[in-house]
Chain A
């Protein structure tokens, strides 16, 4: 019986510790050894922003032509007393990096004599080369207490603070920075 209580106590402590690791407060996000603040064009300067949890960055690539990364990214919205945790997966098509497309310019010009550098820009506007997929999301208050996740608006479910990663969106730059954190180079600088 005594042994049972000891096991239960250990279990309780373990549960509490796991839960406290999971919840994240605004104060914790300021710990630069655990989180990196992404200085983003979309920030208002009112304390909002995006933070990458460094220990969660994982290279999950399975093919040579596509690099894949999984990570946890937190988006803070102080005015809504909200920290939203995203578990996100990014897939980067290396053939579509800007450096690779620019390097292929002579080939494009040969096939289409009127091809211009502006067409490369338009290609990227049609397909940025990065696909972001939110795998899970969890909401917290700024103090780190769990909060029920609001369902997305109908028809806007795929729109989050981090997706889609279209070329002319701020989220595209976040994805580029995440790539650099893992591979030491911006996605668009990859040439092969």
Chain B
């Protein structure tokens, strides 16, 4: 009886470990992970070419609040960093709060309806002032490319801030938008609040 219990525990723990660790192979082969953003930095000179890819765990997306035009979604994504010295994976948990009054679709619609002469330039200014998306981003774990966990003394990142529609936030914007697509089958910017 005790041996059976021990065996069950071992099987269970092996299973748990496997579900917690993540490797590049899994991210690329399992259908639950969707590649949503890729960026290659090419520095001039001696710097290596660094690559960053984000994978959203589409099964992880859950709706926390739904009160249009406000939405709140939570999900897990993985960022794969490829440097010349190796490949690293970071697991993030993100909660995104959306206000679809600020989607590009809503801003364009508002500009066409309210103003006598619609200004697309005003839409750009408004969208740059407020992207409509806030994030609560938590770094959860760090892995090597083969899925083994990295033990590091560098503190895990925790950010709570509005997203900016600039290139520096393009990757996080892509994640937040992909979560929105998973939950509502539409891109955030295509929602039109009338």
Contact = CB atoms under 8 A, between A and B. Distances in A.
A125 interface: yes
A168 B123 contact: no
Contacts of B173: 118
A51 interface: no
A23 interface: no
A67 B52 CA distance: 37
A121 B119 contact: no
Given A118-B104, A168-B166, A98 B189 contact: no
A98 B120 contact: yes
Contacts of A187: 121
Contacts of A97: 120
Given A122-B170, A125-B170, A168-B167, A102 B177 contact: no
Q: What 9 A-B pairs are tightest by C-beta distance, nearest first?
A: A116-B187, A186-B121, A168-B166, A118-B189, A99-B120, A117-B189, A117-B104, A188-B121, A98-B120
Interface residues of A, number: 20
9 contacts: A98-B121, A98-B124, A99-B120, A102-B108, A116-B177, A116-B189, A118-B187, A189-B120, A189-B121
Interface string A105-137: 000000000001110111001000000000000
B128 interface: yes
Contacts of A25: none
A176 interface: yes
A186 B117 CA distance: 12
B108 A117 contact: yes
Given A99-B120, A188-B124, A118 B177 contact: yes
B48 to A, nearest CB: 17
Interface in B116-143: 119-121, 123-125, 127-128
Interface of A: 97-99, 102, 116-118, 120-122, 125, 155, 166, 168, 173, 176, 186-189
Contacts of A120: 104
Contacts of B119: 186, 189
Contact of B44 (A99, A155, A168, A188): A155
- Chain A CB within 10 Å, residue with most, of B164, B177, B190: B190
How many B residues touch the partner, as a band? 20 to 34
Contacts of A122: 170
Interface in B75-118: 103-105, 108
B124 A117 contact: no
Nearest to A118: B189
Interface in B144-194: 164-167, 170, 173, 177, 187-190
Contacts of B108: 102, 117
Q: Of B121, B173, B187, which is in contact with the most chain A CB atoms at under 10 Å from its CB?
A: B121
A168 B168 CA distance: 9
Contacts of A121: 104, 127, 165, 189
